[in-house]
Amino acid sequence: MREINLINIGGGAAVEMFGRSLEKVLTNIADPNAETKTPREITLKFRFKPDSSGTVAHVEVQSVEKLAPVEAYRTLMHVTETADGISAMEYNPNQLKLPTERQMGNTVGAEKIIKIT
């Protein structure tokens, strides 16, 4: 009879589960949108449930990750009511504005947005 250990239990299932959980944790750490102060955790859980004879145990192996949440994205939305109904527009001060004809040196006529094709 072979000795049971972390490496060979379930044909290596526990080690494989830990590897998948570790990949999720490392991906979460590398995510620029994830909070940096929250510690990440991996828990390997083993549950042994013996049968009535006491000679057999059903074993469950589970790997659970605790990851940092993604930080919320905040923006402003301006809501207005028009003849066509209610509409909303996001306001983003970092959004680059397209140049107008006047800014491009054409001062004839009304200011228009240049179409980019």
Decide if 24 contacts 41 (C-beta within 8 A): no
pLDDT tens for 92-103 read: 656 677 666 555
d(CA 13, CA 59): 12
d(CA 100, CA 80): 25
Band of residue 9 on the pLDDT scale cut at 50, 70, 90: very high
Per-residue pLDDT, 101: 54
pLDDT tens for 15-40 read: 999 999 999 999 999 999 999 999 99
Band of residue 88 on the pLDDT scale cut at 50, 70, 90: confident
Kindly list the domain boundaries of the chain, sorted by start residue. Answer: 1-117
Per-residue pLDDT, 114: 47
Asked if residue 3 has pLDDT above 50, the reply is yes
Of 61 and 89, more confident: 61
